[in-house]
Structure 1
Amino acid sequence: MNKQVKVLVVEDDPNICELVTLYGEKNGYIVNVAQNGMTGLEMFYDTTPDLVVLDIMLPEMDGWEVCKEIRRFQKTPIIILTGKGESYDKLKGFELGTDDYIVKPFDPNELMARIKAVLRRVNPILVENELIELPLLKIDMNQYKVICDTQEIVVAPREMELLYFLASHPNQVYTRQQLLDQIWGLDFDGDPRTVDVHVKRIREKLGDSDRCWRVQTIRGVGYKFEVDNE
């Protein structure tokens, strides 16, 4: 990536600040932290971050007000990270122009994936070269290409995103709901079996030859991208 991504975390819990900073820096981001809303807004204008992770319940100025102030003049992506998980709060967040909404407690790896997904959507130039290469499989998110057994195969955008997400977390199991939240977004209100349909299509397009990788069904749970150990 030509430019190191700057992430501003506005959160009053020091343990969460430390956790997000740790994972953010591991992913190559510059992370700045503010522990109240007023300081967060000041740091937003001082540091010009590429993305903001914003709590709602903050001292001095709550997250809603911080979001409103940012949205008055800037389109910088905002991910709400909060303990307020009611549908009303999520709707309010999206109405204010937030880009994603994550409820605590949260998986820091999921937060990092959400950050990358938002950056890819709003400013792809900020996202690292996203390429997964395995024997007889190449998934290139930058060019939206999948090459299997030396042949390029045609996959729909959701299939591409689902395959890439699973393959970028090898041997990790995800429920249908987790995959819906990650790929389709929190505002998706369709049938969770949508995931099953997309997995079936991916399998049909990749074929069923004996390989060291496969999209595996975990009965009663969900799916994982299984990669054999060398």
Structure 2
Amino acid sequence: MPSTLLVIDDEPQIRKFLRISLASQGYKVIEAGTGAEGLGQAALMRPDLIVLDLGLPDMDGQQVLEELRQWSTVPVLVLSVRASEAQKVQALDSGANDYVTKPFGIQEFLARVRALLRQASGSPVHEAALQLGPLQVDLASRRVTLDGAEVALTRKEYAVLAQLARYPGRVITQQQLLKDIWGPTHLDDSHYLRIVVGHLRQKLGDDPAAPRFLITEPGVGYRLASPD
């Protein structure tokens, strides 16, 4: 099946240009001209990648990104005239996977799309075990070791660590962790997650001020440091 891409941009000419360019590469393209429409399409169509403009008529693209990251890990490529470092940092910190400024070269743009689809940020790693320095998370045997010694974890502690280990280096939002591990009725119970992460840090000897393994992304969620 061809990958489905959602283009959220209020400029019809840009959407047409991207539609033609992406379709020529075999992608299925859906479009939205506003942030609200884009969020609706993202929920309904479950695209493989989203191309997001920041200057939308109804809401800022940064807000679209933040709302999207409450419930989705779909790769997002920001495409915007905003070229300042602060804007790029804000978008990346909010969960964007890449940032391209307008005007742009279509070949570079397509290469970045291919790279994001290869990375498949919404798909877990397939390795049976993740090795992160002295820490090993064996997803096949549900076993965690630190410096070769097994670490005794509760079911919730292991579930949180395993979820982060499936997406090494990528931020998992608090809401996603709460939904996946505690269930959809606990989306507001962030204190559950903070307690479990605190216990994990103690058992892994991870200093919150200078973490080796569990990294907090303030206001967003957590990530496990990348093996790289």
**When the two structures are superposed, what TM-score results if normalisation uses the length of structure 1?**
0.52
State how far apart, in whole Å, the 2-side matches of 1:43 and 1:85 are: 27
* 1:4/1:29 contact within 8 Å kept: yes
* 2:10/2:56 contact within 8 Å kept: yes
* Count of residue pairs the alignment pairs up: 123
Which residue in 2 is equivalent to 1:87? 85
* 1:19/1:108 contact within 8 Å kept: no
How far 1:122 sits from its partner (Å)?
A: 2.2
State how far apart, in whole Å, the 1-side matches of 2:34 and 2:90 are: 21
State how far apart, in whole Å, the 1-side matches of 2:106 and 2:81 are: 15
- Alignment CA distance shift 1:124-1:56 (3 Å): closer
State how far apart, in whole Å, the 2-side matches of 1:30 and 1:57 are: 24
State how far apart, in whole Å, the 2-side matches of 1:68 and 1:75 are: 11
Which residue in 1 is equivalent to 2:21? 23
Superimposed CA distance per residue, residues 21-52 of structure 1 (whole angstroms, 9 cap, x where no aligned partner):
00110111100010111111111111110000
Measured on the aligned residues, the alpha-carbon RMSD in Å equals: 1.5
How far 1:60 sits from its partner (Å)?
A: 1.0
How far 1:107 sits from its partner (Å)?
A: 1.1
| 2:111 partner letter | A
Structure 1 residue aligned with 2:94, among 96, 102, 112? 96
**For residues 65-214 of structure 1, what are the structure 2 equivalents within 5 Å?**
65-122=63-120
* 1:81/1:104 contact within 8 Å kept: yes
* 1:36/1:59 contact within 8 Å kept: yes
| 1:75 partner letter | T
State how far apart, in whole Å, the 1-side matches of 2:120 and 2:47 are: 14
Percentage of matched positions with identical amino acids: 33
State how far apart, in whole Å, the 2-side matches of 1:82 and 1:88 are: 13
Which residue in 2 is equivalent to 1:7? 5
State how far apart, in whole Å, the 2-side matches of 1:8 and 1:48 are: 9
State how far apart, in whole Å, the 1-side matches of 2:85 and 2:120 are: 25
| 1:68 partner letter | E
Which residue in 2 is equivalent to 1:48? 46
State how far apart, in whole Å, the 1-side matches of 2:118 and 2:102 are: 23
- Alignment CA distance shift 1:84-1:41 (3 Å): same
* 1:23/1:109 contact within 8 Å kept: no
How far 1:123 sits from its partner (Å)?
A: 5.8
Say which SS state the counterpart of residue 2 (structure 2) adopts. Answer: coil
| 1:43 partner letter | Q
Structure 2 unaligned regions, length at least 5: 124-228
State how far apart, in whole Å, the 2-side matches of 1:94 and 1:124 are: 16
How far 1:118 sits from its partner (Å)?
A: 0.8
State how far apart, in whole Å, the 2-side matches of 1:85 and 1:124 are: 27
| 2:102 partner letter | K
Q: Which runs of 4+ in 1 moved over 3 A?
A: none
**When the two structures are superposed, what TM-score results if normalisation uses the length of structure 2?**
0.52
Say which SS state the counterpart of residue 58 (structure 2) adopts. Answer: coil
| 2:3 partner letter | V
| 2:54 partner letter | I
State how far apart, in whole Å, the 1-side matches of 2:8 and 2:122 are: 24
* 2:8/2:50 contact within 8 Å kept: yes
State how far apart, in whole Å, the 2-side matches of 1:107 and 1:15 are: 16
State how far apart, in whole Å, the 1-side matches of 2:95 and 2:55 are: 18
- Alignment CA distance shift 1:87-1:47 (3 Å): same
